[in-house]
Amino acid sequence: MELKNLSIRQLNNLFVEKKAKPSELYSDIFDTSASSESLLHAHLALFEEKNIEIAKNSDKRFENGESTGLLDGIPIAIKDNINIKGELTTCSSKMLSNYRSPYNATVIEKLDNENVLYTGKTNLDEFAMGSSTENSAFGLTKNPWNTDYVPGGSSGGSAASVSARSSIGALGSDTGGSIRQPAAFCGLVGFKPTYGTVSRYGLIAFASSLDQIGPITKNVDDARIIYNAISGHDALDATSIDNNQINIPFDKSAKIGVIKELMEDGISDESRNEVSKVLESLKNQGYQIKEVSLPLIKLSISIYYLIAPAECSANLARFDGVRYGLRVEGKTSYEMMQNTRAEGFGDEVKRRILLGTYALSAGYYDEYYGKALRARKKMIDEFSNIFNDVDYLISPTTPTAAFKAGEKTSNPLEMYMSDLCTIPANLAGLPAISIPTGLSKENLPLGVQLMSKPLTDLSLLNFSEVIEKEVDFDTFPKGLEK
Ligand code: GLN
């Protein structure tokens, strides 16, 4: 079997037993990205040159029995809204096309300590706003399963990179589904951790109360390994929390709730069938399953599209032509800012800033933003009540499999609907994961989502492995062989 298809643990075993070397893995990975990149455009930058040396250092550590652990020499791709010192961090925006990071994000410091090897920076929807990676200022990314289709978004480049085997795992960011939805569209595992357990320091902010960094991988164990490496309290992030994990059962005594509202209108038969398939197998294994209702879930898109734009309008105010990136001159400083923002931001980003500024304006603050905050609080209460009854919640990850490029670009509302199932976990700060379970009629991957209460990430991952074993999904994109 080719090295690039193996799991992190399998690779580490081969390195430890001196049956393979990190530098061999890296050449395998690099050959793949060299041939697939022109087709997929998963990356905005590839770091090939430096990596040869870095991989050789890993080789030496394994030769001398001094490796630093499971991630030593493992090639990881990084979404281009996470700062790596000295590299460009563009957020796929014209605004930051020349912005070079003066510091490392905390997740990068942590991965550096593990001696991972960064393959490059991956494409995204501009400032992580979107569900298809079509909002990138630098061109779209294609789905490795079928290049007529989108890879999902906003972490579409990260998902395409792992799916095509241009990296072993990738970091994405998830504000309303941007890790889980592209993972589902590309047949991968996508994990959004409990809010606050992974530092956001050095992640360029979209909506700070919702953003969370997490892994996209071929399997659940890889996601766990990366999560263990990047999580933990960070004094540099004011919303960071101590990662004091709570254990909940993941054996047959675990209780599973099927979310009624996410099995109804707006969800395709195909997506629903994946959930039914998984439930059938859990039932056969003796798990207790019941239907649960979370009525406010139906409002999550409305709540999200007030809160996220409101926060983004504040966060993106810093891009004014004075401090970062692009500057388009004008006769006055005011005109300079106007010109810079008019030219630097794309349509979707502008739409969100307008929406957010409106929702926060004096006359409407209470009516829109305030109401959304109150509804969010009620929804969190609904979730906590349900978690007194069940340990895990199950639903489809997405209403449908991947859609064709261009299919939803002219209708933002339709695009927003692709996050129907994923947004609730962000609003409530819950850990949530997408596991690939099957294929649509068009041979495109479909996934199932699991959520659990805050700080039960590790139990959630353990339970996910039960499902993963049972469905035995082959993550290699059939489309790539063409
Ligand atoms: N698709 C959602 C949006 O456009 C979520 C994006 C994300 O999670 N970063 O806002």
Find the CATH number of the domain harbouring 235: 3.90.1300.10
Taking the centre of ligand 1 as the mean of its atom positions, its distance from the CA of residue 129, in whole angstroms, is 5
Nearest-atom index, ligand 1, CA of 174: 8
The pLDDT score that the predictor gives to residue 214 is: 98
In contact, 8 and 228? CB cutoff 8 Å: no
In 3D space, the residue among 12, 204, 167, 185 whose CA is nearest the CA of residue 91 turns out to be 204
Q: Please spell the DSSP secondary structure of 207-241, one letter per residue.
A: STTT-EEEEEESSHHHHHHHHHHHBS--TTSTT--
Asked whether the CA dihedral 431, 434, 437, 441 is positive or negative, the reply is positive
DSSP 8-class letter at 118: E
- Measured CA to CA, the distance from residue 112 to residue 119 in angstroms comes to 13
Ligand 1 atom closest to the Cα of residue 305 is 10
Max Cα–Cα distance, the chain, nearest Å: 72
pLDDT for residue 49? 81
Residue nearest atom 10 in ligand 1 by C-alpha distance: 129
**142 CA distance to ligand 1 centroid (A)?**
18
Nearest CA, atom 5, ligand 1: 176
Alpha carbon distance 113, 443 (integer Å): 40
For the chain, the domain total comes to 1
CA of 174 to the centre of ligand 1 (A): 7
- Best substitution site from 93, 122, 175, 213 to test ligand 1's pocket, by max atoms within 8 Å of Cβ? 175
Q: Left if phi > 0, otherwise alpha if psi is -120 to 50, otherwise beta: which for 86?
A: left
Q: How far apart are CA 219 and CA 132, in angstroms?
A: 22
CA atoms within 13 A on the CB side of 7: 15
SS3 58: helix
Using most ligand atoms within 8 A of CB, pick from 136, 154, 350 the residue to mutate for ligand 1. Answer: 154
**What's the token pair of residue 137?**
């200022």
Atom of ligand 1 nearest to the CA of 423: 5
Residue 309 Cα to ligand 1 midpoint, Å, equals: 10
Mapping DSSP to helix (H, G, I), strand (E, B) and coil, where does residue 307 land? Answer: helix
pLDDT at 1: 66
* Closest atom of ligand 1 to CA, residue 304: 10
Ligand 1 centroid to residue 378 C-alpha, Å: 22
Are the C-beta atoms of residues 206 and 449 closer than 8 Å to each other? no
- Model's pTM, two decimal places? 0.98
Distances in whole angstroms, Cα of residue 258 to Cα of each of 79, 327, 435, 457: 32, 50, 16, 19
For residue 114, the CA-to-ligand 1 centroid distance in Å is 29
| Summary count for the chain: helices (H), strands (E) | 15, 11
Cα dist from 451 to 137, 229, 259, 320, 461, whole Å:
33, 21, 10, 38, 10
Q: Quick one: which of 49, 70, 50, 59 has its CA closest to 25?
A: 59
Q: Which atom of ligand 1 is nearest to the CA of 130?
A: 4
| CA 280 to ligand 1 center in whole angstroms | 31
Residue 482's pLDDT is what? 46
| Ligand 1 atom at shortest distance from the alpha carbon of 131 | 1
pLDDT mean by block of 10 residues, the chain; 482 residues: 93 98 96 93 93 95 97 98 98 97 98 97 98 98 98 98 98 98 98 98 98 98 98 98 97 97 95 98 96 97 97 97 95 97 98 96 92 98 98 98 95 89 98 98 97 98 97 90 56
Q: First vs last Cα of the chain: how many Å apart?
A: 19
Q: Residues near 331 by Cβ (< 8 Å), separated by ≥ 6?
A: none
What is the domain extent for residue 332? 1-482
Q: Copy the structure tokens of residue 81.
A: 């809204």
Q: Which amino acid is at 394?
A: I
In whole angstroms, what is the distance from residue 158 CA to residue 170 CA? 6
Residue to mutate (ligand 1; options 125, 349, 350, 414; most atoms within 8 A of CB): 125
The residues pairing with 438 across neighbouring beta strands, listed in sequence order, are: 446
Burial class (CB in 10 A: 0-12, 13-18, 19+), 289: middle
Among 82, 131, 132, which is best to mutate for testing ligand 1, by the most ligand atoms less than 8 A from CB?
Answer: 131
- Residue 329 CB contacts under 8 Å (≥ 6 apart), including other chains: 336, 339
Q: Where are the alpha helices (DSSP H) in 143-298?
A: 156-163, 180-185, 220-230, 269-285
Around ligand 1, the residues with Cβ closer than 6 Å are 128-131, 154, 173-178, 206, 308, 419
Average pLDDT, the chain: 96
Tokens of 263: 């099995």
Q: What amino acid positions are annotated as catalytic residues?
A: 79, 154, 178
